[in-house]
């Protein structure tokens, strides 16, 4: 990565793009979204194996609604690759569905059920008629392979060399030039946990 190129990576970006980032995706077909043409990612790679960039060449690695699609071993491999890529004092920033919030919402049943149903992918396989169905559908979302809360992510990061793991609010970051992008692209939804870590 040359000096003129971005030192910010957005891994598992799918069809989403953030200005100023290099995007990493394994499936180029995801660039087609609702009839719109989206530029292909700058890097085609499997984030659980190898991202073709030099050691210590990246300042921040960002992911949104990606890591829950990895098995636990894939997650560990991904964090090891992130550690390799990051410069000294580099950061990893991620948002994943938060199991603790899901459980709390189910127990308290304070969530707007009609809105949640309207925003969910309803199918015959998992009908959603009440709070119990909604909770089950979120736990069994068809391509989620692991459920996370702050504890699971912190321990996985610590195992792969990261320290100073913190929960952060949308837009809250030590990388101030990215605060507007992170605020815009990290939604504080019912199911999100925002975690930032430093080497």
Are the CB atoms for 197 and 165 separated by under 8 Å? yes
Per-residue pLDDT for the chain (199 aa), expressed as one digit of tens each? 443 467 999 999 998 888 889 999 998 765 565 567 788 899 999 999 999 999 999 999 999 889 999 999 999 999 999 999 999 888 898 888 888 888 998 899 888 888 777 766 655 566 788 888 888 888 888 788 999 999 999 999 999 999 888 887 766 666 666 666 666 666 544 344 556 666 5
- SS3 state at 71: coil
Q: 3.40.50.300, 3.40.50.150, 1.10.340.30, 3.40.640.10: which CATH number matches 8-98+148-198?
A: 3.40.50.150
Domain extents for the chain?
8-98+148-198, 99-143
Specify the pLDDT at position 16.
87
Specify the pLDDT at position 80.
97
Model confidence, pTM: 0.83
Specify the pLDDT at position 118.
75
Q: In what order do the strands lie in the sheet with 86-97?
A: 43-44, 22-25, 8-11, 58-64, 86-97, 192-198, 163-167
- SS3 state at 96: strand
């Amino acid at each position: 990565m040359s000096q003129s190129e971005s030192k910010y990576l957005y891994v598992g970006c799918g069809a989403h793009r953030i200005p100023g980032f290099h995007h990493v995706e394994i499936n180029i077909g995801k660039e087609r979204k609702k009839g719109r043409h989206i530029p292909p990612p700058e890097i085609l790679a499997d984030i659980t194996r190898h991202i073709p960039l030099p050691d210590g060449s990246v300042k921040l690695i960002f992911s949104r609604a990606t890591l829950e699609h990895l098995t636990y071993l894939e997650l560990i491999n991904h964090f090891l690759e992130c550690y390799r890529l990051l410069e000294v004092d580099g950061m990893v920033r991620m948002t994943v569905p938060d199991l603790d919030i899901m459980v709390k919402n189910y127990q308290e049943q304070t969530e707007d059920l009609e809105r949640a149903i309207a925003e969910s992918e309803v199918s015959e396989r998992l009908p959603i008629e009440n709070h119990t169905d909604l909770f089950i559908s979120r736990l069994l979302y068809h391509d989620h392979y692991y459920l996370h809360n702050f504890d699971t992510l912190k321990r996985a990061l610590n195992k792969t060399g990261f320290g100073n793991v913190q929960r952060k609010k949308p837009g809250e970051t030590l990388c101030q030039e990215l605060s507007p992008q992170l605020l815009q692209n990290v939604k504080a939804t019912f199911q999100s946990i925002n975690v930032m870590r430093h080497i």
